[in-house]
Amino acid sequence: MDLPRNLRVLVVLPMYGGSLPIGRYCATALAKLGHTVEVFEAPAFYPAFGALKDLRVTSDRLEYLENSFLQVVSQAVCAKAETFGPDLVLALAQAPLSRQALKRLRRDGVKTAMWFVEDFRLFTYWEAFAPFYDVFAVIQKEPFPEKLAAIGQTNALYLPLAADPAVHRPLDLSPVERRIYGAETSFMGAGYPNRRVAFAELLDFGLGIFGSDWDGDAVLGPRVRLDGRRITTEEAVKVFNAAAVNLNLHSSVSVADLVSGGDFVNPRTFELAMCGAFQLVDRRGLLPELFEADELAQFGNMAELKDRLAHFLAHPDERAAYAAKARARALRDHTYAARMERLLAFTAERHPGWGVGERGGEALAALPPELRDEVAGLLRELSLPADVSFDDLIWAVRARQGLLSPLETSLLFLDEWRRQYGR
Q: Give residue-wise pLDDT tens across range 247-287.
A: 999 999 888 889 988 999 999 999 999 999 999 999 999 99
**What pLDDT does 386 receive?**
73
**What pLDDT does 419 receive?**
67
**Which is it for the CA torsion 35, 36, 40, 41, positive or negative?**
positive
**What pLDDT does 168 receive?**
98
pLDDT digit string (tens) for 109-168? Answer: 999 999 999 999 999 999 999 999 999 999 999 999 999 999 999 999 999 999 999 999
Residue 1 clears pLDDT 60, i.e. is over it? no
Domains annotated for the chain, with CATH where assigned, are: 8-161+336-350 (3.40.50.2000), 175-333 (3.40.50.2000), 369-421 (no CATH)
**What pLDDT does 152 receive?**
97
Work out the percent of the chain whose per-residue pLDDT is above 90: 80
Residue 200 clears pLDDT 60, i.e. is over it? yes
Per-residue confidence at 183, pLDDT binned at 50, 70, 90? very high
**What pLDDT does 391 receive?**
75
The phi and psi torsions of 295 (rounded to 5 degrees) equal -100, -30
Per-residue confidence at 406, pLDDT binned at 50, 70, 90? confident
Q: If you average pLDDT over every residue of the chain, what do you get?
A: 92
Q: Answer for the pair 3, 345: CB distance below 8 angstroms, yes or no.
A: yes
What number is the average pLDDT over the span 305-333?
A: 98
How are beta strands 297-299 and 183-188 bridged, if at all?
unpaired
**What pLDDT does 6 receive?**
86
What number is the average pLDDT over the span 214-228?
A: 94
Residue 35 clears pLDDT 90, i.e. is over it? yes
**What pLDDT does 363 receive?**
63
The phi and psi torsions of 14 (rounded to 5 degrees) equal -75, 165
**What pLDDT does 398 receive?**
72
**What pLDDT does 392 receive?**
75
**What pLDDT does 396 receive?**
76
Residue 361 clears pLDDT 70, i.e. is over it? no
E strand intervals along 93-132: 111-116
Per-residue confidence at 76, pLDDT binned at 50, 70, 90? very high
32-36, 291-295, 410-414: lowest mean pLDDT where? Answer: 410-414
Q: Is 254 exposed, middle or buried (0-12, 13-18, 19+ CB in 10 A)?
A: exposed
What number is the average pLDDT over the span 366-394?
A: 75
What number is the average pLDDT over the span 183-199?
A: 96
Residue 358 clears pLDDT 60, i.e. is over it? no
- Other beta carbons within 10 angstroms of residue 336's beta carbon come to 25
- What residues have CB less than 8 Å from 92, skipping those under 6 apart? 11, 12, 13, 14, 19, 20, 22, 23, 26, 114, 115, 117
**What pLDDT does 360 receive?**
52
